[in-house]
Amino acid sequence: MVIKKVAIVGGGLMGAGIAQVVAKSGCEVVLIEANENQLEKSMALIQKNFDRSFKEGRISSLDMQESLAQISGEITVHCCKDADLVIEAVTEDLELKKKVFEEISEVTGSKQILASNTSGLSIAAIGAATSKPSNVIGLHFFYPVPLMDLVEVIPSLMTSEQTLNTMLEFVGTLGKEPVKCPDYPGFLVNRILIPMVNEAIYCVMEGASPEDVDSAMKLGANHKMGPITLADFVGLDVLLATMEGLCEGFDDSKYRPCPLLKKMVETGKLGRKTGRGFYDYTNRTQMSVTE
């Protein structure tokens, strides 16, 4: 099966990035949002992302215009009916994703592939909300999507071999590297990475400065980005939800979210997207807000 048209449900940071790389590969893209206002914001974000890629020399002006011409927007999932692939990229909430997949399943046919961009939720549970779980698979892109080479491809116990092979091939056409992951909480990257970031937050809670924790891991483990900076970059609410998913999914206390992480989310300090997390980004500085 050749993927020629892709519908993307949800045009936030992830959805917009996915739309950009899919359109750049030559596929027709339909971005679906809940309302006209959100759709306008999402399309503007895609334009901004392409402009940045052009300014940084990663795409030509002609390629940018051709890619943008491949993208259209809608506010109803009914337009999914003629897409070869539907990628869901809504908020990381299992009940919400199941609801979206149920709606998509009602308007799509027996051969269309339905993929979730979840970072760690059960693909089996999401697929069970549809009438065709054999067509459901996980496609976990990493932020920022245009720059990150990896895509985790996650089949559930019900996913067909044809669906899996089609998605492994599709990811390759995007210029990305696919890795097949078991359908367990966190998949591969987040199961390893997120507990490490959580442990770094424990170090801050116990008295270490975010700057020292970041410097220790960058200089001592050769990480490009320190774990506290990474937490702010990902979003502390997303990090907390992932830790809670790991803890619940494995029923293992080693995945218990750090109390400080919970407090940061409760106070609305979610990282770069809110201007403040463990660091203060309101003046484009990285001053600790925990000192």
* DSSP 8-class letter at 257: P
Q: Name the residue with tokens 């599709």.
A: 170
Name the amino acid, one letter, at 255.
Y
Q: Which among 25, 122, 190, 198 is annotated as catalytic?
A: 190
Q: Which among 28, 33, 92, 152 is annotated as catalytic?
A: 152
Q: Which among 140, 156, 198, 211 is annotated as catalytic?
A: 140
Buried b (16+ CB within 10 A) or exposed e, 102-138: ebbbebbeeebbbbbbbbbbbbbbbbebbebbbbbbb
> Other C-beta atoms within 10 Å of 36: how many?
10
131 is catalytic: no
Contact 86, 9 (CB under 8 A): yes
Contact 196, 213 (CB under 8 A): no
CA 140 remoteness from chain centre: 6
Name residues whose C-beta falls within 8 Å of residue 68's C-beta, 6 or more positions apart in sequence. 23, 46, 47, 50
72 is catalytic: no
Q: Which among 119, 122, 156, 198 is annotated as catalytic?
A: 119
Q: Name the residue with tokens 């089609």.
A: 166
Name the amino acid, one letter, at 198.
N
Whole-angstrom distance, CA of residue 172 vs CA of residue 168: 7
152 is catalytic: yes
198 is catalytic: no
Active site residues: 119, 140, 152, 190
